[in-house]
Structure 1
């Protein structure tokens, strides 16, 4: 187990809102032109916007946006960056409760926890402002923290003393 050198400095509500805003700007820069292109193709095709075909197109686009968001957040947060571009710009990192990098599976759970946080009228996000470790519902569900980079440091514990106990492995 790692031993803490210092207590972490948790990222507060407004700092996390700003990181989310930066990520939203990036998302808009990528997906707005795509949306315009798809919209123009729909108009050019002359299809009825309320037809079953157009409903299928809209549902497909919504599904793709969920998958794109999932991959963006999960890949970034489980990478060596330990956060999205917005978090990186603001010097924030997503960690597990021991300050280590989270896995892709853990980041995936965190992402879908964010969807749940939004579905309950954003209360899961607002929790960040009121919990001791500044955790939203999605953080609690995924056992994660968002901390200021460089302020959550650990050192390895001393190696075991194999000489005690008489046996070669100290099992004695």
Structure 2
């Protein structure tokens, strides 16, 4: 059974029933949060839908036990970081997706005609350097359009409720800040300004992505600059974030 969760006027899900029960037991969901599944006439508190699922109380302290050792607040294993090859695969998928709007922009901005003219010059034995300069000038607008399309594509997808581009969704990845939370549009834009500006400087994109292989949190240069992470698991597999306690009951309007 699939269950929708209602919290603070927003609808999340759907999630599998066992997943919701587990989140109730470990306290990631409140029993006051609302739930709905197919067949219900209205939204109900989770305490009504799953009355047997309650947060597991902590074990009683042992007065004879030694004091616990102090643990670091954040550990490198706190999140399941996406590997270099997972991110490379997502990049390839996104590259294929972006080819369609980029080719359309190139066609309407004269890029195809500029390429045909360049080939004609080569066949006629024109000077290579002069022909390349002319071709570069003629395709400037289409190149800028492709960069803008790519920037908007990544920024809005990664700041969306999916927290991922289609390529990352296909490989079940998501982009978050260093606390594992959804990116704001400003942070997503900053991340992609760093990444796309690397295209202007030749070999820097290689350094940008190779950093994933040796950094502790598998962060690329753009992740380090924008304080972001790429994690395994889609946003829809995570419990909805609790920003404040909710005491709404009865009907839920999303």
| TM-score calculated relative to the size of structure 1 | 0.73
- Unpaired runs of 5+ in structure 1? 160-172
Question: Are 1:19 and 2:90 counterparts?
Answer: yes
Tell me the matched-pair count. 155
Q: Contact conserved, 1:117 with 1:123, CA < 8 A, in 2?
A: no
Q: Relative to total residues, which structure has the larger helix share, 1 or 2?
A: 1
Higher RCO (C-alpha 8 Å, min separation 6): 1
Q: Contact conserved, 2:94 with 2:166, CA < 8 A, in 1?
A: yes
CA deviations over 1:54-107 (Å, ceiling 9, x no partner)? 655411111111111110010101011101110011110000111111111111
| TM-score calculated relative to the size of structure 2 | 0.51
How far the C-alpha of 1:32 sits from its partner, in A, is: 2.8
- In the other structure, the counterpart of 1:139 is 223
Q: 1:39 to 1:130 in 2, by over 3 A?
A: same
Of 8, 20, 31, which aligns to 2:102? 31
Alignment map for 1:72-87 (pairs within 5 Å): 72-87=153-168
2: CA distance, partners of 1:154 / 1:36: 43
Q: Contact conserved, 1:13 with 1:129, CA < 8 A, in 2?
A: yes
Runs of 4+, deviation exceeding 6 Å? 51-54, 151-155
- In the other structure, the counterpart of 2:193 is 112
Structure with bigger gyration radius: 2
- Unpaired runs of 5+ in structure 2? 1-27, 29-72, 122-129, 246-254
Q: Contact conserved, 2:111 with 2:139, CA < 8 A, in 1?
A: no
